[in-house]
Amino acid sequence: MEHELVIGLAGLACLIILIALRIPIAFGMIMVGGIGVTALNGPAIFLSQLKDLTYIQFSIYDLSVIPMFVLMGNLASRAGLSQELFRAANAWLGWARGGVAMSAIVACAGFGAVCGSSLATASTMGKVALPELEKYKYQPSLATGTLAAGGVLGILIPPSVVLVIYAILVEANIVTMFMAAFVPGIIAVILFLITIMIYVRVFPNSGPARDRIGRDQFWQATFGVLPVLLIFGCVIGGIFFGVFNPTPAAAVGVFLVGGYAFIRGRMSMLDLKFAGLDTAKTTGMIFLILLGAEMLKIFMARGGVPQALAEILGGSGLEPMMIMIFLLLGLIVLGCLMDSLSMILLAIPFFWPVIIDLDFGMNTEDLKIWFGILALIVVELGLITPPVGMNVFVISAMAKNVPMATIFKGVTPFFASEIVRVILILMFPGLVLWLPSLLGG
Amino acid sequence: MTQSLSLNRGLIELPIRFIEWWALGGCCVLAVVVVMATISSVTGFLFATPFPGDFELTQMLVAVAAFMFLPYCQLTFAHVSADIFTSKASDNVVRLLSRAGSLLAISFSLLLVSRTYAGLLDYQIYLETTTILQIPIWYAFVPAIFSLALWTVAAVITLIFPEKTVNSPIHEALGEHD
């Protein structure tokens, strides 16, 4: 084995140890990357790079959409959009058996359309939908499982921060990625709804229908949600049809959500301050970890670790599809241990060189999109699986009388439906590639 | 004794508050980008006259805002870590590891302050500017370097008062919000 590769692998081992020791992942990446490059090429190159590496990283234009999306999500969480969404969904679907849970799923998807964070989606929708589900005596495992699972819908429904990061990592077009994510997002909603239908059929008393509502109430709820749909239409429609780039689109979104909250009198100065500070925390965290990932990438590329991995797996004689499944399983396992953002930043620089060498009968651009969507779905599964299912923790903190094990049990059918979705997309890449080719992304 | 302690608390509260305000300042920079990009995209859509140079201003201002957020992130332990392997560790161990993280942050932020300053000088000498508006890029380095220095201050504070500190002045000064 070459000398560089040994240093690269040793660096990787150090990083894993640092992460296990609870050192912030960004710091670990920066340290290992910095020391590694110094070990390979001497300090001069690294020190000279550091002069403007941070500024160059922070001022990548594609990244500027991230603080916008984060701010939009934080404003939306505090503006009470979730109430309108849930009320409307409940008016449309609540009459069915299990309908209140289905409404929660649809509302989660709707909220995911203005907020890119799974956790925020779970916690915001949880606050609104959990009391309703309890009121109708939904089985606790179904009620909590639905809400924890509903949160993961956020990742594939634009605006999604992790999607942007993936696109930057593999140099894919962000707009194309957004388009590609749309159909899989809809599929997830449909599969979740089917899951609930099956659940209430197997356990007949687990999810009763809600009380009947009057016609005026129905229309009131329907009209109430129109502004939210309008905001989503402006932002996503504008991006899809090429009216504007993601960053201005997100800026318009921030403007509209903020304006809506202000008109409805739902936003106090204190709310605004905390929405700003939350944005500061998330943005700073994301940008620093991106800097770390860049430094690590420089080091790993010089050490030749990704290429070595690609050679080993490529020369293993395994079918490309087997390697793909193997990597996705790896992501599921790692996703159980780490948050999805760090996971994508750590794993994709290693996995992508492996994938790009394999023949799936499609060109590189399509492969980027297809693999990206699959990877994003599976890393997000870590949010609803033990040991650190963050979405489950969030819902558990709200539903104090429901044991954690019950929530994990309630999530299981949704986890199964996610696996179905992954298999569907593996078998039919067209599900992902259809919309981008239609809209000419 | 109690009095000197409360005096110390007051001294530590000042930088904490300042860092919070600095982060809110970053939010204001972001707000400028929001307003600018919104106006630019609306006029661009309606009259095909987008604001000239909005692209490069966005880049520059978002970078400045991100720098301004770093000290606050340090102070609020916002940087993600995987705590699964240490979830059963005692508070003492967690404090120790948190301090180790703060030490890393101190050394890295100090290194960045000095290197970014060298970068500023380079950009001044070769006078690189943005393409359309001709804004010298080193302008952005000034708030960046100040933010990095403030990050060092924040890391010193988190070194003294790591995670799981009982009655941490950081919590007292910033308050809790959900």
Going from N- to C-terminal start, the domains of chain B cover: 2-173
Kindly state whether A72 is in contact with chain B, defined as any CB-CB distance less than 8 angstroms: no
Cβ-Cβ contacts under 8 Å, B112 against chain A: 50, 54
**Which of A21, A22, A118, A279 has the highest number of chain B CBs within 10 A, making it the mutation to test binding with B?**
A22
Judge contact between A34 and A295, C-beta under 8 A: yes
pLDDT tens for residues B95-119? 999 999 999 999 999 999 999 999 9
The pLDDT score that the predictor gives to residue A50 is 93
Poorest-confidence range of A12-21, A152-161, A251-260? Answer: A152-161
Cβ-Cβ contacts under 8 Å, A27 against chain B: 79, 101, 104-105, 108
Contact B84 A244 (CB under 8 A): no
Q: Is the pLDDT of residue A331 over 70?
A: yes
DSSP label at residue A383:
G
pLDDT, average across residues A125-143 = 92
Question: Which residues partner with B136 through β-bridges?
Answer: B129
pLDDT tens for residues A264-278? 887 888 889 999 999
- Minimal Cβ distance to A55: which of B34, B38, B141: B141
In one-letter notation, the amino acid at residue A139 is Q
d(C-alpha B163, C-alpha B46), whole Å: 51
Judge contact between A207 and A98, C-beta under 8 A: yes
Q: How confident is the model at residue B1 (pLDDT cuts 50, 70, 90)?
A: very low
**Which of A38, A45, A58 has the highest number of chain B CBs within 10 A, making it the mutation to test binding with B?**
A58
Q: How confident is the model at residue B4 (pLDDT cuts 50, 70, 90)?
A: low
- Minimal Cβ distance to B34: which of A63, A68, A339: A68
Q: Which of B162, B135, B15 is nearest to B76 (CA)?
A: B162
Between A369 and B43, residue with greater pLDDT: A369
Contact A64 B112 (CB under 8 A): no
Spacing of C-alpha B143 from chain mean position: 10
The pLDDT score that the predictor gives to residue A440 is 73
**What percent of chain A is modeled with pLDDT above 90?**
57
Angle of helix A25-41 relative to helix B91-125, nearest 10 degrees, comes to 60
pLDDT tens for residues A169-195? 999 999 999 999 999 999 999 999 999
| Residue recorded with tokens 């080719």 | A437
Cβ-Cβ contacts under 8 Å, B40 against chain A: 248
Q: What is the mean pLDDT of chain A?
A: 90
Q: Is the pLDDT of residue A204 over 70?
A: yes
CB atoms within 10 A of CB B136: 13
d(C-alpha A292, C-alpha B79), whole Å: 12
pLDDT, average across residues B44-69 = 89
Contact B62 A67 (CB under 8 A): yes
**Which of B22, B24, B32, B38 has the highest number of chain A CBs within 10 A, making it the mutation to test binding with A?**
B38
Q: Is the pLDDT of residue A343 over 70?
A: yes
CA-based Rg of chain A, rounded to a whole angstrom? 22
Q: Is the pLDDT of residue B177 over 60?
A: no
The pLDDT score that the predictor gives to residue B3 is 54
d(C-alpha A288, C-alpha B73), whole Å: 10
Poorest-confidence range of A92-106, A237-251, A357-371? Answer: A237-251
Cβ-Cβ contacts under 8 Å, B104 against chain A: 23, 27, 30-31
pLDDT, average across residues B4-27 = 85
| Residue recorded with tokens 């594609």 | A62
Q: How confident is the model at residue A91 (pLDDT cuts 50, 70, 90)?
A: very high
The pLDDT score that the predictor gives to residue A214 is 85
Write the DSSP string, A107-172: HHHHHHTT---HHHHHHHHHHHHHHHHHHTT--HHHHHHHHHHHGGGGGTSSS-HHHHHHHHHHT-
Contact A277 B59 (CB under 8 A): no
Taking CA atoms, what residue in B is nearest to A64?
B62
pLDDT, average across residues A126-145 = 92
d(C-alpha A207, C-alpha A375), whole Å: 33
pLDDT tens for residues B124-175? 999 888 988 899 999 999 999 999 999 999 999 999 999 888 888 888 888 7
Contact B34 A255 (CB under 8 A): yes
CA distance B134 to chain A (A): 16
Cβ-Cβ contacts under 8 Å, B141 against chain A: 55
Q: What angle do CA B47, B50, B51 make, to 5 degrees?
A: 135
Q: How confident is the model at residue A15 (pLDDT cuts 50, 70, 90)?
A: very high
Between A41 and B86, residue with greater pLDDT: A41
Which residues have C-beta within 8 Å of that of residue A38, sequence separation ≥ 6?
A: A46
d(C-alpha A392, C-alpha A149), whole Å: 8
Q: How many CA atoms lie within 13 A of A301 on its CB side?
A: 10
Contact B82 A19 (CB under 8 A): yes
Contact B35 A255 (CB under 8 A): yes
The pLDDT score that the predictor gives to residue A425 is 96
Q: Is the pLDDT of residue B178 over 50?
A: no
CB atoms within 10 A of CB A424: 13
Three-class DSSP category at B136? strand
Cβ-Cβ contacts under 8 Å, B66 against chain A: 58, 67, 283-284, 287
Q: What is the mean pLDDT of chain B?
A: 89
pLDDT, average across residues A221-225 = 91
Residue A213 has phi, psi (to 5 degrees) of -120, 155
Q: Is the pLDDT of residue B6 over 70?
A: no
First to last CA, chain A: 43
Q: Is the pLDDT of residue B70 over 90?
A: yes
Q: What angle do CA A263, A265, A266 make, to 5 degrees?
A: 115
**What percent of chain A is modeled with pLDDT above 70?**
100
Tokens read off for A358: 């394999």
Tokens read off for A241: 């049809």
The pLDDT score that the predictor gives to residue A116 is 76
pTM: 0.91
Q: Is the pLDDT of residue B66 over 90?
A: yes
Kindly state whether A6 is in contact with chain B, defined as any CB-CB distance less than 8 angstroms: no
The pLDDT score that the predictor gives to residue B176 is 57
Between A428 and B80, residue with greater pLDDT: A428
pLDDT tens for residues A345-373? 989 999 999 999 888 989 999 999 999 99
The pLDDT score that the predictor gives to residue A273 is 93
The pLDDT score that the predictor gives to residue A380 is 87
Q: Is the pLDDT of residue A426 over 60?
A: yes
The pLDDT score that the predictor gives to residue A108 is 94
Three-class DSSP category at B89? coil
Which residues have C-beta within 8 Å of that of residue A301, sequence separation ≥ 6?
A: none
| Residue recorded with tokens 């301090």 | B99
Three-class DSSP category at B129? strand
Contact A279 B30 (CB under 8 A): yes
* Dihedral over alpha carbons A255, A256, A261, A265 (to 10 degrees): 90
Q: How confident is the model at residue A429 (pLDDT cuts 50, 70, 90)?
A: very high
Cβ-Cβ contacts under 8 Å, A288 against chain B: 70, 73, 79
